Amino acid sequence: MFEIDVTLRRGERTIALQCASAGGVVALCGRSGAGKTSVLDMVAGLVTPDEGRIVAAGHVLFDSAGGINLAPEQRRCGYVFQDKRLFPHKSVEANLLYGWRLIAPEQRWITPQEVYDLLGLAPLLHRRPVNLSGGEAQRVAIGRALLAGARFLLLDEPLSALDAPRRAEIMGLIERIRDSLGLPMLYVSHQRDEVERLAALVVEMD
C-alpha cells in the first residue's frame, strides 16, 4: 500500500505528488528531470518534504502536520538504485548479507537461501561486483534489498542500463517478486511499456 501526498520546494521549482494505491506496483513515469527520483528519496527518508504525508506498507513514514519523520533506517525500505551501489571490495554474498546482518532477527522475513533461489544467485556468491554483468548486478541489488527486511521496494530505473535480453530477465524477476511476495513497490521509469506491464497505478509526472 502506498499513500503519498508530498510537496518539495527547491528554489523556484516545486515537486508535488498525490497518489494512493491499495497494493501492487505504483509507477512514476515521465521525462528526465520531472522529479521522479526526488520522490523516491522522500519516501526513503533521504530528502525531507516541505509538507505532506507518506504512508507505505501501512506505516506512516512522514506527516508534517503530525510531526512524524522516521529516520531512513526506521522505514525498512529496500532501495534499488539506478547505479546498483554494490560494495566493490565485498563478494556478492557479503553484499547480499550486509543489511541482513544489521537488522534485528524479528525483522528477517525471508532467508538468504530463499533469496538465492528466487533470484538465481547461488552461482554468483563468490564473485566480486566487477565480474558481474549488468543483469547479474541488478539481481544482487534486488536481493540485498529483500534481505534487509524491506517492507516495500523503491526501484529507480532498474532496466535502464541493460540490453534487451537482460531487460526481459529483470522484468520477469520483478513480476515474480510482485506476484509471489506481494511487496508494495514504487517503480520509476520513463518507459511507458515497462510501467503498463508492471504497475497497478501509473502516475505521470511532468
Residue 160, domain CATH = 3.40.50.300
Count of other CB atoms within 10 angstroms of residue 134 = 16
Helix, strand, coil share of the chain (percent; to 5): 40, 25, 35
120 touches 140 (CB < 8 A): no
Query: Does residue 72 carry a pLDDT above 80?
Result: yes
Distance CA 1, CA 184 (A): 6
pLDDT band (50, 70, 90) for residue 188: very high
Q: Report pLDDT for 58.
A: 86
Q: Report pLDDT for 116.
A: 94
Range of the domain at 62: 2-205
Q: pLDDT tens digits for 130-148?
A: 999 888 998 999 999 999 9
Residues with Cβ within 8 Å of 16's Cβ and at least 6 positions away in sequence, in order, are 6, 7, 8
For the purposes of burial, counting CB atoms within 10 Å of the CB of 179, is it exposed (0-12), middle (13-18) or buried (19 or more)?
Answer: exposed
Distance CA 35, CA 186 (A): 14
Q: Report pLDDT for 52.
A: 94
Domain count, the chain: 1
Distance CA 147, CA 108 (A): 7
Query: Does residue 113 carry a pLDDT above 90?
Result: yes
